[in-house]
Amino acid sequence: MAPIAGKYQHVENVKFFELMKKAGYPEDKASAADKTRAVVTLTIDGDKVTTKVEEVGDVVENHFVLGQESDEKHPGGFVSKTTITKEGDGLKFVSKESGGKFLTRLYKFTDAGFEVVLNFEGFEAKRIYKRL
C-alpha cells in the first residue's frame, strides 16, 4: 500500500477543462484552472486529514474528519460542502456544489504520486500528481 501523506506536484490533466466548463465555470476560469500546476500537501493522522494547496500567490488549507461534512475552501475563494472517506488504499472526496449537484474526486495513490479521478454528473476527468 502506497503512503497517502506527502507533498505532490501537479503534472498533467485529462479532460479537466471540459469538466470545469460542464460544472458551470466561465471559460477564462476553467482555462486558468486547467493551466495551474499546484503543489498539494496531504497529511493524515487517524481520522483527521489536512490538505494544503499552493498555487501562484494563493495557499488554501483545509481540515477534515473522515466521514464528517466540512466546508472546503478552494483556490479563488470558492467553498463547497465536502465529505472525505477512505476508499480502498485511497481517499474519496464528495463535494456538494451549487445547485445541489455533486463532484466526486477519487484519489488513487502510488509510490510515484497520485491520480485524482473527478466525476461531475457522469463526466470524468483526471488530474495527475508526482510525489516530491
Q: What is the DSSP string of 37-88?
A: --EEEEEEETTEEEEEEEETTEEEEEEEETTS-EEEE-TTS-EEEEEEEEET
Is the separation of the CB atoms in 49 and 66 below 8 Å?
yes
Q: Is residue 1 part of a domain?
A: no
Q: Is residue 63 part of a domain?
A: yes
Could you tell me the residue range of the domain that residue 35 belongs to? 6-131
Question: What are the pLDDT tens digits along the chain (132 aa)?
Answer: 788 999 999 999 999 999 989 888 889 888 888 888 999 999 999 999 999 999 877 899 999 999 999 999 987 778 899 999 999 889 999 999 777 889 999 999 999 999 999 999 999 999 999 999
pLDDT score recorded for residue 25: 83
Q: Is residue 68 part of a domain?
A: yes
pLDDT score recorded for residue 33: 84
Q: Is residue 71 part of a domain?
A: yes
Torsion of CA 3, 20, 9, 59, to 10 degrees: -100
pLDDT score recorded for residue 32: 84
Question: What is the tally of structural domains in the chain?
Answer: 1
Dist CA 101 CA 123 (whole Å): 13
Is the separation of the CB atoms in 126 and 115 below 8 Å?
yes
HSE toward the beta carbon, residue 94, CA cutoff 13 A = 12
HSE toward the beta carbon, residue 52, CA cutoff 13 A = 9
Exposed / middle / buried, residue 91 (Cβ in 10 Å: 0-12, 13-18, 19+)? buried
pLDDT score recorded for residue 91: 96
CATH number at residue 30: 2.40.128.20
Q: Is residue 16 part of a domain?
A: yes
Please compute Rg for the chain using Cα positions: 14
Q: Is residue 12 part of a domain?
A: yes
Q: Is residue 35 part of a domain?
A: yes
